[in-house]
Amino acid sequence: MSVGGVALERSGAAALLLVGALATALVCQRAGAACGAAAARERQLDRVQALLAPGRDRRAGLPDLGEFDGLFAGQRLAWRRAGPGLVLWLEPLPTGGAP
């Protein structure tokens, strides 16, 4: 192979590597963000399930539900009196859309 051919091959290899690394970094960054968001959503769902658990001691006061706004598309949670106790209720977010 000529000297020019070798140089072309090497620069092609470098470009391929660079593009591959950049694409991988971009995909990994997006995937990491998506995994983090999913994990945060799961933690919020854990907390909602803990609030749903019957027998939960609410004498210390009702916890604020603001952190769950938009957890369920376009909805927010609110306390509502029903029958013998309080129950979690879903209401549309005032803005009307999912954040």
Partner 1 sequence: MKPGAGPVRLPWRWLFDSPLVLAAWAAAALCCFAAVRFVAAVRAAERARQRAGTVLAQVAAEAAALEVAGVSARRLPFAMSMGGVQVRVEAAGSGLLLTANPRGSEARQFRSARLPGAASAAFGEPLTVARPEPDFAAQLPAIDAAAVATAWAAEALPWFRRDVGVALLHFDAGTEADDFVFDPGLSQLGLPATVDLVVVPGNLWVEPGRAPLRLPLERDLTVVVRGNLYVGRSLAIDGPGRLVFASTTCAGGAGFVDRDGNGRWSAGEPTCEGLPFRGRHEGAGNVHLGLPGHGPALEVAAGLVVAGQLHLRCSARVAGPVVLAHAPHDLAGPPARLRATGDRLFVPDREVVPGFLSEGAPRAGLLLPVPGPSVVAERPLYPAAPAR
Upper half-sphere CA count for residue 93 (Cβ side, 13 Å): 17
**Type of residue at 84:** P
Shortest approach of partner 1 to residue 75 CB, angstroms? 4
Shortest approach of partner 1 to residue 60 CB, angstroms? 15
Residue 98 binds partner 1, judged by CB under 8 A:
no
Q: How far apart (Å, rounded) are the C-alpha atoms in residues 14 and 49?
A: 52
Please report, as ranges, the residues that interact with partner 1 according to CB under 8 A.
Answer: 9-10, 12-14, 16-17, 19-21, 23-24, 27-28, 30-32, 34-35, 37-39, 41-42, 45, 48-49, 52, 54-55, 71-75, 77, 80, 82-85, 87-92
